[in-house]
Amino acid sequence: MQKHPLLLVTRKQTTQVKQHPNHLQAQLFLNICVPWGKGAKRTGVEMPKAEKGKSHSIRPVSRRPPSWCKYEPEEVEAFIIKLAKEGHNLSAIGTILRDQYAIPLVKPITGKTISATLKASNLAPAMPEDLTNLMKKAKRMAVHMEKNKKDAHNKRNMVLLEAKIHKLSRYYKREGVLQKNWKYVPKIASIS
């Protein structure tokens, strides 16, 4: 019994695909089913250079506050407001509450997230934190690109970073977090 040549495709055996009578269908099969990178997965909806690691922290399973956490909801909200007034951002507030006050998650205790707590007390940031961080990174990269005009590697990274900014801004406009007329001015266009 002869094995089908498509099932034997590796990088070194691509010549078998071209010998196949339906080599265009075989090439299509090759592009869809055989990823060429280590753990590569190309679906068309993901951003390039997606993370491939499996290590990550896992959130607590229970939605109820842990029995060992003795804080009342009002105390936790007071901690959040105090830390926000000190100038900490949302993720830093969550980390401080976890590490210094032993509060694993705010939502099971207070019934609302850190951002909702800050919105209620009019301390919420004007722009979402993830978008702000991406824009700061783009600004730093633009300064680097001004000094190093021939850095092609970081020029591509800048393009990918700005694609992430545009994708995230479209999401926030759709959700009503950003105004519809908000626009990010790309830095890569001014550098080129």
Sign, CA dihedral 128-133-134-138, equals positive
128-157: pLDDT as tens digits: 999 999 999 999 999 999 999 999 999 999
On the question of pLDDT at 168 being above 70, the answer is yes
pLDDT for 29 = 47
Mean pLDDT of 74-83: 96
182 SS3 class: coil
On the question of pLDDT at 35 being above 50, the answer is no
Place of tokens 């399973």: 61
Residue 78's pLDDT band, with cuts at 50, 70 and 90, is very high
Percentage of residues in the chain having pLDDT higher than 70: 71
| 57-71, 75-89, 128-142, range with the lowest pLDDT | 57-71
| 25-29, 61-65, 112-116, 172-176, range with the lowest pLDDT | 25-29
* Assigned token pair, 103: 């509060």
pLDDT for 47 = 62
Residue 59's pLDDT band, with cuts at 50, 70 and 90, is confident
192 SS3 class: coil
Mean pLDDT of 68-79: 94
- Backbone dihedral angles phi then psi of residue 121, each to the nearest 5 degrees: -100, 15
Are 64 and 108 contacting, i.e. CB atoms less than 8 angstroms apart? yes
Note the residue count of the chain: 192
On the question of pLDDT at 26 being above 60, the answer is no
On the question of pLDDT at 86 being above 60, the answer is yes
DSSP state of 10: -
Which of the two residues, 23 and 108, has the higher pLDDT score?
Answer: 108
CA 15, CA 25: separation in Å to the nearest integer?
Answer: 14
Place of tokens 């339906």: 22
Nearest 5°: the CA angle 92, 98, 100 is: 90
On the question of pLDDT at 77 being above 70, the answer is yes
**From the CB of residue 27, how many other CB atoms can be counted at a distance below 10 Å?**
15
